[in-house]
A and B are shown apart, each in its own frame.
With several copies, the nearest count.
Chain A
Amino acid sequence: MAEIIWGLATSHVPSIGAAMDYGKTEDAYWKPLFEGYAPAREWMAEHRPDVAVIIYNDHANAIDLDVVPTFAIGTGERFEVADEGWGRRQVPPVIGHPPLSEHLITRLVDDEFDITMLHDLDVDHGLTVPLSVYCPQPGASWPCRVVPLLVNVIQYPQPTAARCLKLGEALGRAIRSFPRDIKVAVFGTGGMSHQLAGARAGLINTRFDRMFLEKIETDPTSLAALSREQYVDQAGSEGIELIMWLVMRGALGDGLTRIHDTYHVPASNTAAALALFAVTDSGTPSAPMRSTLRR
């Protein structure tokens, strides 16, 4: 049976990818963020999954603007890197895992999640930047296959945070029932607080972000109880992306250990964070390395 080995929560800001693509990670602006990533990257490099299930949102790129699925899963053998309006990122194409996609869709639909199947999908920065956060130097190919799980966070009404946590719990069951001995990592992407447009543009809510970074481990249920209006109000109109972390968190289950986290303002107009959790109830427990969260 498949095993979930770790979960990664990470911002997916395009400029984080651009900083890596254009060799700016040592610049004063970017250095603190990438230094914060380092311990997590080392740990992940020693714990390679066969497949990453990446929960993200498309940003007006691959999905036609007339079609807005609440939850969707890509089924393809391969996902091309999207041209988002400024050329494609020079990163490898993303290789899928059709049997796992099909298994997850069937289990989730049977479990009363109304998944949209996407049989042809380009992937944008929402998915490729987290892959780069995990693996900064992929070479010719990413070190794992990917199943993309998309969440509508852009158009109201977004799914509730509670629904996202439940989807994650069902996703965890679905992954663990996949009858192959593979190791799976789950990525929850987006956030933290940010708002791109309007008079509140530039909003950063460090207090909310710190609370969220803490409770995503210890008390996800309290985060699932927040309304979409509270997310928008507290974390900004784009900070509502944080509901995608809850899908990841739900999939991990209760036996988890925080390996590392980091928090930095800004990446472009966004508060950027990373939090890495090892799953300890179905493998050997991993000791946490260090946390920058409560320093």
Chain B
Amino acid sequence: MATPAAAEPGGSSSRDAPRARDTYVFDIAEGRRGAAINRLCASFKDEHNRRDFLSDEEAYCGRFDLTDEQRRAILDRDWVGMLDLGASIFYTFKLAQVDKRSMQYLGGVFTGMTEEEFGSLMVSGGRRFG
């Protein structure tokens, strides 16, 4: 809605192209849609919650008002799916950290690369658009 890019799907010419939208606009409606995922991820600010989650992920998910799709996306670590279901990267990154995954790993997921490929691309100056 806000940016022209927001509504456009990601590259579509290849079967391997990531499903991620070009740019996510985290607006109020998205925030409402993704609130349960974000709330779950926000809870990882407490060490105690991180341990609870790791010891029984399914049970931990039960504490939050997740849709089945959202629960699935969390348990499967479907990073694109979580964003498509309204989550914000600032929250889902906390889940990635629980998994000891880096932002380069996530960047790779969003763009169909390995963590190493994505990291090298950043070192070589990042990705240019427009």
Judged by CB atoms under 8 Å, the answer to whether A and B touch is yes
Task: Write the residues of chain A forming the contact surface with B, with a CB cutoff of 8 angstroms.
Answer: 15, 29, 59-61, 65, 75-77, 82-87, 98, 101-102, 105, 117, 119, 154-157, 193, 195-206, 228-229, 232-234, 236-237, 265-266, 268-269, 271
> How distant is A260 from chain B, measured CB to nearest CB, in Å?
23
Contact indicator B28/A105 (Cβ below 8 Å): yes
Contact indicator B122/A156 (Cβ below 8 Å): no
Residue B72 CB within 8 A of the other chain: no
Sample 10 A-B pairs with CB under 8 A, ordered by A number: A29-B123, A59-B90, A105-B28, A154-B88, A155-B31, A197-B89, A199-B18, A233-B3, A265-B126, A271-B126
Question: Would you call the interface of chain A mostly helix, strand, loop, or mixed?
Answer: loop
Of chain B, the residue at the smallest CB distance from A267 is B122
Contact indicator A65/B38 (Cβ below 8 Å): yes
Task: Write the residues of chain B forming the contact surface with A, with a CB cutoff of 8 angstroms.
Answer: 2-5, 10-11, 17-18, 20-29, 31-32, 35, 38-39, 41-42, 44-47, 50, 83, 88-91, 93-94, 97-98, 103-104, 106-107, 110-111, 118, 121-123, 125-130
Which residues of A lie under 8 Å from residue B121 when comparing CB positions?
Answer: 202
| With A59-B90, A65-B38, A102-B28 as contacts: A85 and B83 at CB distance below 8 Å | no
Bound: A139/B125 CA distance, A: 35
Name the contact of A155 in the complex, choosing from B20, B27, B93, B97 (C-beta under 8 A). Answer: B27
Name the contact of B22 in the complex, choosing from A87, A156, A198, A206 (C-beta under 8 A). Answer: A198
Contact indicator B20/A60 (Cβ below 8 Å): no
Bound: A112/B47 CA distance, A: 39
Contact indicator A199/B45 (Cβ below 8 Å): no
Bound: A61/B22 CA distance, A: 26
Which residues of B lie under 8 Å from residue A206 when comparing CB positions?
Answer: 125
Name the contact of A198 in the complex, choosing from B17, B20, B39, B91 (C-beta under 8 A). Answer: B20
